[in-house]
Structure 1
């Protein structure tokens, strides 16, 4: 289940909002320009499915979103635990890339979770919104929105990425240590799963 937790930007000592209701989540995020919706989950698509399988399963939804938004590039990104002895180092490096607060000047950050989970932290208007996304969730973070992403210390997800620009993901890092003040993926996931 998806979870939205909102705190003041000063830290997680005070809670502004916490909900797992998809309608409430969409309504809370809409005023800051963030798109949240749920697509039908294809239970026959394995968590580690290849790109062709994912594209085939979600073709109707991808085509509809492309028609609405005019995306130039759509791809599938996946990160799942592996027996590879290099896996822990690869996972840590992948996670570190997104943990710092940043913006995107030229594109929105739009992701649909085919499998697994991740958290987008949105720092907007004096608040931090942690959106725990799972299988079936689509989140669209508008260009210019200050945010960061955490996939946890043992990433396990498959997501469809949508880009208006062919260059893809280009982050402008703010240099702020704000992400260090808030619960990370592992903390939120452990509390949510309990």
Structure 2
């Protein structure tokens, strides 16, 4: 995993777009983003380590997502476009990268700058409920990821806008950054 500020220059979203300003794990933790490196070839297998993290974090369900041009066919470009639209979820977004690679961009608060996180095989990334983010593949144009969920799998994106700003999960997320205790 490597993180840095997005350069906001026009061009293919799958390119690096590295502004030259880096971000580190502490920067991500301040935004509620968690990261583990769990190599695919660790003794005992990555599955055992994922099971351990899942038990600690309360992740009960999982599935696998495979984003490739071959796999998605005619839906490939429209899916990438929808993944790259700025949105939030009412649940954590948890991904363990099995193969391929891509970028998760998260909005830093309060600056509203994008931080780009390049995920590779062995990265486990957790985005908190309520954080604005987007996803795209990189130039490899493929990723296979294990998705983990606290409850039943669901993926409902709430596109950024006035209604989403008032969403209780967004409000709780912003309050958590301010150190406000929420019920």
Common fold: TM-score over 0.5: yes
Compute the TM-score of the two structures, normalised by the length of structure 2.
0.72
Which of 77, 86, 93 pairs up with 1:109?
93
Report the counterpart of residue 72 of structure 1 in structure 2: 60
2:118 counterpart residue number: 132
* 1:109-134 CA-partner distances (Å, limit 9, x unpaired): 01011110110000121121100111
Is the 2:101–2:140 contact (alpha carbons within 8 Å) kept by the matching residues of 1?
A: no
* Matching residue of 2:80: 95
Q: CA offsets per residue over residues 86-127 of structure 1, 9 Å max, x none? A: 72x22112212211100112x100101111011000012112
Q: 1:59 to 1:17 in 2, by over 3 A?
A: same
CA contact (8 A) 2:4 2:18 kept: no
Is the deviation greater in 130-139 or in 153-162?
153-162
Aligned to 2:107: 123
Unaligned runs of 5+ in 1: 20-24, 44-55, 177-194
Q: 1:26·1:37 contact (CA, 8 Å) conserved in 2?
A: no
Alignment of 1:1-194 (within 5 A): 2-7=1-6, 11=8, 15=19, 17-18=21-22, 25-42=24-41, 57-82=45-70, 87=73, 89-105=74-90, 107-125=91-109, 126=111, 127-152=113-138, 155-175=141-161
Note the residue ranges of structure 2 that are not aligned, 5 or more in a row: 10-16, 163-183
Secondary structure, aligned partner of 1:92: helix
Aligned residues: 152
